[in-house]
Amino acid sequence: MTKEFTLVNKVLIRYHCGMETKQINDYIERLSNLLRNEMRREGAEYGLQPVQLEALHYLSICNRYSNTPMGVTEYLGQTKGTVSQSLKVLEKKAFLTKHADKNDKRITHLKVSTTGKKLLKKSIPAPLFTQACEHLNEQSKTQIITGLNELLHAVQRSNGMKSFGICRTCRYNQKNEDGSYFCDLTKEPLSQSDVQLICREHENVA
């Protein structure tokens, strides 16, 4: 095999990989735009912007270590000012409530209200997205979940972002002999519901 042939192969491989990367980017960008439009439509009925619905959704799936203004800021990648204004709107509309931490009064925890939960049940996933997924078979859904999960982890590793993974998959999560759970980072017991939620302190198992 000549050096020229090897060089051509390398160029073709890089070109092919580049095209695949662009195609993935284009698909995700298009899906994001469609879902954002649906979220805007759903939120408009309640006077909410997409970022405010996203904040509310995050608070519905995160654990007690992550339901703070800082947790919302890190998860959404927004400025503190934007998040602060969004939380004020959500609180004013009674979609969430604020509670001071029992051990540190400087920390504020945010909890989705019953009204907020009803809104999320109606809006997320967007009806359009739910209908589309109903047309996919189980194998396709599994492949999409696996692929998107791998892509998300790759992007997070590349940028040094927090993983915000599910508690039970964290290296700090310890399962006791009696079936209960314990966080080796906070040194506190975890409930069955805790381990099903995402956490800002999550670290993947090495």
126-147 pLDDT per residue, tens? 888 999 999 999 999 999 999 9
Closest CA to 89 of 35, 38, 43: 43
Q: What pLDDT does residue 2 have?
A: 52
Q: What percent of the chain has pLDDT over 70?
A: 91
CA-based nearest residue to 172, from 206, 144, 142: 206
Residue 16 has pLDDT above 60, yes or no: no
| Mean pLDDT, all residues of the chain | 88
Distance between CA atoms of 203 and 93, rounded to whole angstroms? 34
Looking at the whole model, is its pTM more than 0.85? no
Which neighbouring-strand residues pair with 111? Answer: 97
Q: Which tokens hold the place of 124?
A: 């997320």
Q: What are the backbone angles phi and psi of residue 66, rounded to the nearest 5°?
A: -125, -5
Please report which confidence band the pLDDT of residue 161 belongs to, taking 50, 70 and 90 as the band edges.
Answer: confident
Instruction: Label residue 84 exposed, middle or buried (CB < 10 Å: 0-12, 13-18, 19+).
Output: middle
Task: Flag whether pLDDT at 10 surpasses 50.
Answer: no
